Structure 1
Amino acid sequence: MMVIGYARVSTEVQSLAAQLTQLQAANCTKIFREKVSGARTDRKQLAALIKELSKGDVVLVTRLDRLARSTRDLLNVLAAIAEKGAGFKSLGDAWADTTTAHGRLMLTVLGGLAEFERELIRARTGEGRERAKARGVVLGRKPKLTKHQQREAIARRDAGEVLTKIARSYNVSHSTISRL
């Protein structure tokens, strides 16, 4: 069993020193560190940490916000850690400890609340879309070609002109013309 630390700051000018001191004091065997925004899901060092995990290891952070920016992201990262058979602890958030039954309960409740919130947002968004459609609002991106240009491009295509040539003349991709 190893205790593996993860330290993160958002910008290059910020320092990892305080986090590293706390993680070293907590007897971390190894510490992964990176300077990247927590909003990014493609954090290389976090991915490397998860890849290296073995059954019984514990991932340790100084605070929850060092691991994830949102509840959804936190739950995804914790699921990846759990899939490896490892646990998770936060020094600053005693309740966030998947190595105990109470910690797992708290994170399960948090996961349920996040899922509930996501469903509410999805329902409100869907209702808003339906109301907009009823008012005649056309959703999505504006077409790159006017109706006249579309008819003209179709006629040129039907006449045997090459799609890429037609597309170039309208400054669009050939796939835009082929979808017509």
Structure 2
Amino acid sequence: MATFAYGRVSTKDQTVDNQRLEIERAGFKVDYWFADEGVSGNTHASLRPQFKALLSQIRDGEILVVAKLDRLGRDAQDVNTTIKALAKRKIEVIILQLGKLDVASPSGKLMLQMLAAVAEMERDLLVERTQSGLARAKREGKVLGRPVKTTASQQAEIINLRKNGASLSSLARLYKVSRATIMRVTGEVSK
């Protein structure tokens, strides 16, 4: 019987090394390691490339270890669907954050439901706080988003040069910006 482990991080700047170390320090000898890097937590577990690969390789009755509950799904419903699918195959799921918990037992199912709901609420609160912070910054007059690559005087020059027949490509080269930037400045629409 093999032991599988799964990790996930949201951005390419992050690494799953800490999750792997946590699983190894807990005493698990992992036979197969799968990790989705740069895959948002908003992506359903069934749509994550490495998680799909894990599901196709793991056999009924084997063990799956994850560091945290939210590695198994994006919200309470997704976690529940994933756990049910694994339980049908008699795959033992160990979530280090919870200790060794029989997720197929009634008390294990209840615990997972509660924790998944709490994790979903935490994500919702984070989004709410982020939106609130962005709204406050806008009210305070802060400029949000990517910095503008051209100054107001450059934009006026670009518009004038374009009206006098300069090509998009030549303007893009001249101002070291993309053709799309020139089109935004001149108000042209891509065809």
TM range, normalised to the smaller chain?
0.5 to 0.7
The residue number in structure 2 matching 1:160 is 165
Tell me, in whole angstroms, the C-alpha distance in 1 between the residues paired with 2:62 and 2:95: 11
Q: Which amino acid aligns with 2:135?
A: E
The residue number in structure 1 matching 2:9 is none
Moved more, 43-52 or 121-130: 43-52
RMSD: 3.6
Percent sequence identity over aligned pairs: 31
Unaligned runs of 5+ in 2: 7-15, 41-47, 186-191
The answer on whether the counterparts of 1:60 and 1:91 sit within 8 Å (CA) in structure 2 is: no
Equivalent position to 1:104, from 109, 112, 127: 109
Counterpart secondary structure, 1:19: coil
The residue number in structure 2 matching 1:74 is 72
The residue number in structure 1 matching 2:144 is 139
The residue number in structure 2 matching 1:171 is 176
The answer on whether the counterparts of 1:6 and 1:46 sit within 8 Å (CA) in structure 2 is: no
Q: Which amino acid aligns with 2:73?
A: L
The answer on whether the counterparts of 2:72 and 2:82 sit within 8 Å (CA) in structure 1 is: no
Counterpart secondary structure, 2:103: coil
Moved more, 78-87 or 128-137: 78-87
Per-residue CA distance 1:128-167 (angstroms, 9 max, x = gap): 1122111111111210001111121122222222111101
Normalised TM-score (structure 2):
0.63
Counterpart secondary structure, 1:33: strand
Change (3 A) 1:163 1:61: same
How far apart are 1:94 and its partner, in Å?
A: 2.1
Per-residue CA distance 1:48-93 (angstroms, 9 max, x = gap): 2123457xx355245x31xx5xx53333485556557545411862
The answer on whether the counterparts of 1:32 and 1:45 sit within 8 Å (CA) in structure 2 is: no
Q: Which amino acid aligns with 2:153?
A: H
Tell me, in whole angstroms, the C-alpha distance in 2 between the residues paired with 1:160 and 1:80: 59
Change (3 A) 1:105 1:133: same
The residue number in structure 2 matching 1:27 is none
Equivalent position to 2:54, from 44, 49, 56: 49
The residue number in structure 1 matching 2:93 is 89
The residue number in structure 1 matching 2:63 is 60
Tell me, in whole angstroms, the C-alpha distance in 1 between the residues paired with 2:95 and 2:180: 53
Change (3 A) 1:145 1:172: same
How far apart are 1:32 and its partner, in Å?
A: 1.8
Tell me, in whole angstroms, the C-alpha distance in 2 between the residues paired with 1:83 and 1:148: 60
Q: Give aligned pairs, total.
A: 157
The answer on whether the counterparts of 2:4 and 2:58 sit within 8 Å (CA) in structure 1 is: no
Tell me, in whole angstroms, the C-alpha distance in 2 between the residues paired with 1:58 and 1:143: 56
Unaligned runs of 5+ in 1: 24-30
